[in-house]
Structure 1
């Protein structure tokens, strides 16, 4: 849905930039072919006769030892660099345990892991150079990811091997310096990224963190993490399919920046498809949207997933005044939900997450939310089916549907400040109290709803004395 304010801001910020997206990476030879510029007819004739070379390099040939003790950083990075400089191709990591510091993928390079190969992160934080990193919606000084790429295209990590962060690096932020600790996989401003079949294990920091990326696919990846699993941050055209999560914070979190910095940059997360995944979380939610939403989040589709455990709600949509922007067009269908300690679904657009040092002021800072749809949901012993009261009355949720829900729950549905709601075919048992309670809600399927008291609304964010400028 178009919004004049977003369109105006986006035009001013993006004028002159191309928005056409590239097709998803499917095979390395094809992507190498796609990047080849037009040449003379003679050169084209030669190339039509001779097959295009695709480099295949083995890290052992460049000195990698793989004994789990020797640092193989130089050998691994030299192999990756050489592959890209020779035009692109595949870097193969055979069986072994490769202890290494940070590695950087270059364009047109596929890193293939043997099923018995493990990349083990160094315990020494000095092996991860400092750079600018995105952390909780702001760009700050921090340590580069264990495996990372910046401004690269046509890259991938495939194979059934393991990528393991080092537990010696504690916490998400280094206590003495406040530098952000290394993510496990981190892609920044990349196009056509593929991560497939591998097993990942991370310590206390976010595990997989694409930022400002376009056309990125995670397929059949096992994600074990002491924090978040996959944080999609200001990215477009994202596919997460067939992945298995066991995390200690959100299994998947969708983000787009925090406060005036994120709102000024205005890069949304959009066109995200999540399907056929299994989620087990031990601290927060299976899927979290927010709370860093200042660039906007839209067009999210979740289908055919199993939520087997969550410390809070299985699905948690969250933001607060001071973020600005929007969350819209969220659709979830065919979910099995069990083991969530607080319930199936919660909206909290009133006070989730830390307030930014430079929040978006006034009514403009209250996120616009619209078109949230949930269908064909099967729940088992949910303490609460839906907690949907945390919505600001100045900007109600426009468009909400909850249809065809079956199973068992302790309490029913609470809704507030919603326009055009549709509640239909709710066939749950075991609850106490009313099935549906509402305050300031219009729509269909609301007959007989119990009356709720209005929720407390936070104080407005004041307008600063000086307008915000990026710095």
Structure 2
């Protein structure tokens, strides 16, 4: 097929910003700085390719998968550039992005996910912290470098694929899924997912998600064992966690030991209809560290606006979490919950004993305005063998039904907290040391879960990839 004028046009590649700074581990109690963005490198050739030149009909009913994939492959083998989707609605199965490629969806255009599961190849995917067979995402990349999605158009999943797991046990396709991608930029688009996760980066480095409108009936962005990630100026309206940070589950995730680290979330708006606005965990077996959340608005949530969670059997750590300048309202349960005793499903092959109790330290929440929530802080599900080391709650104004319940915390700092509550104690504690605890009423912490023992067939489970 010859290439006409509309197929290849010399142009500058799209630019965006990616976080590239590497942060050192923060000592307990120290301020935590976000990763800093840097420009996405320009594609090598700067070509632009129009998939209509390869036969795309963009009528919303004819499958354009082949034409779209040919355009993306052509772009990659020419050294990189931009595939421009314009002029209509493109029905497609799964599409793979190569290195140095930007997929730009122009205003008024949309990619529509195929309703047929056969159009999403089965491969090894990360699902709830384990590597298992499942259907790959609608738009995906693996092992690529310098990948971008941009434009003011839409990516919309098919409602004909309900639920998260098929009858045969295979996970349904995510909307956008990136595995082992270095240099990733997703900007300005509107996404609408069905019941599966919307955007799922795994093992990615230097990733930016900016100016997105993320809608769907499940999680918005699940950051899974990634490094240097920035989520900026995004608007979420989801039916599960708006943003979830993960790093694997059980012995598999713990031995792979790839943490999620250096994550910056800033200037976002959250609405959640089933779980939390920002969830950290419960799949934390690779560790999560150095996370900042700044200048965000939490407008609606079914449970808690911020929910940080794990359980014995995960191992690893959650550390150096800083959230500042937040506005919180419309919370079904409250502003903040910490639960490190029983959140999430136990893995078939857990990390046993004392090593399996997560290490948690250095959490800071500053300059928070909370309006009319049932509970301000619920932080009692913390293991006494590994108490939370360093907890700062400072400059908080709040109207709440109930105040703060804390247990098993060392080095707490409660300072300038102006809370008007409807009932009960403003502060109740058990086994908490630090400053600003005067006048706290005693409480009885929850019972501890049974000790975790090793799974009997861990090696077999690792080799087979079978789910629990």
- TM (norm. structure 2) is 0.90
Change over 3 Å in CA distance of 1:67–1:414 after alignment to 2 = same
1:85: which partner in 2?
77
Q: 2:238 matched to 1:225?
A: no
2:137: which partner in 1?
145
| d(CA) in 2 for partners of 1:234, 1:341 | 29
Change over 3 Å in CA distance of 1:254–1:280 after alignment to 2 = same
2:175: which partner in 1?
184
User: Is contact 1:25-1:192 (8 Å) kept?
Assistant: no
Count of residue pairs the alignment pairs up: 431
User: Is contact 1:260-1:468 (8 Å) kept?
Assistant: no
Q: 2:242 matched to 1:251?
A: yes
2:447: which partner in 1?
456
SS at 1:398 equivalent: strand
1:409: which partner in 2?
400
| d(CA) in 2 for partners of 1:425, 1:23 | 30
How far has the Cα of 1:143 moved from its partner? Answer: 0.3
| d(CA) in 2 for partners of 1:454, 1:278 | 34
Summarize deviations over 1:76-103 as a string: whole Å, max 9, x none. Answer: 0000000000110011011200000000
More displaced 10-residue stretch of structure 1: 428-437 or 273-282: 428-437
Structure whose residues are more often helix by fraction: 1
SS at 1:60 equivalent: helix
SS at 1:264 equivalent: helix
| d(CA) in 1 for partners of 2:391, 2:174 | 35
Q: 2:163 matched to 1:171?
A: yes
Summarize deviations over 1:4-38 as a string: whole Å, max 9, x none. Answer: xxxxxxxxxxxxxxxxxx99663553x53xxxxxx
Give the one of 135, 140, 144 matched to 2:127: 135
Give the one of 281, 301, 305 matched to 2:272: 281
How far has the Cα of 1:464 moved from its partner? Answer: 4.8
Q: 2:88 matched to 1:96?
A: yes
1:301: which partner in 2?
292
Q: How does 1:38-117 map to 2 (within 5 A)?
A: 53-117=45-109
Q: Which has the higher contact order (CA 8 A, sep 6+)?
A: 2
SS at 2:306 equivalent: strand
Give the one of 362, 365, 372 matched to 1:381: 372
Q: How does 1:6-17 map to 2 (within 5 A)?
A: none
List alignment gaps of at least 5 residues for structure 1: 4-21, 33-52
Give the one of 155, 158, 169 matched to 2:150: 158
How far has the Cα of 1:60 moved from its partner? Answer: 1.1
Summarize deviations over 1:48-71 as a string: whole Å, max 9, x none. Answer: xxxxx4211111111111000110
| d(CA) in 2 for partners of 1:311, 1:468 | 39
SS at 2:39 equivalent: coil
1:26: which partner in 2?
39
| d(CA) in 1 for partners of 2:75, 2:357 | 48
Summarize deviations over 1:151-200 as a string: whole Å, max 9, x none. Answer: 001010000000000010010000x2100000000000000000000000
User: Is contact 2:161-2:194 (8 Å) kept?
Assistant: yes
| d(CA) in 1 for partners of 2:281, 2:137 | 22
2:14: which partner in 1?
none
Change over 3 Å in CA distance of 1:155–1:25 after alignment to 2 = farther
How far has the Cα of 1:430 moved from its partner? Answer: 3.6
Q: 2:268 matched to 1:268?
A: no
1:39: which partner in 2?
none
| d(CA) in 1 for partners of 2:57, 2:454 | 59
1:118: which partner in 2?
110
Q: 2:355 matched to 1:342?
A: no
User: Is contact 2:40-2:183 (8 Å) kept?
Assistant: no
SS at 1:260 equivalent: helix
How far has the Cα of 1:231 moved from its partner? Answer: 0.1
How far has the Cα of 1:260 moved from its partner? Answer: 0.3
User: Is contact 1:343-1:386 (8 Å) kept?
Assistant: yes
| d(CA) in 2 for partners of 1:353, 1:81 | 40
2:11: which partner in 1?
none
| d(CA) in 2 for partners of 1:297, 1:467 | 24
2:7: which partner in 1?
none
User: Is contact 1:28-1:89 (8 Å) kept?
Assistant: no
| d(CA) in 1 for partners of 2:74, 2:456 | 53
Cα RMSD between the aligned structures?
1.5
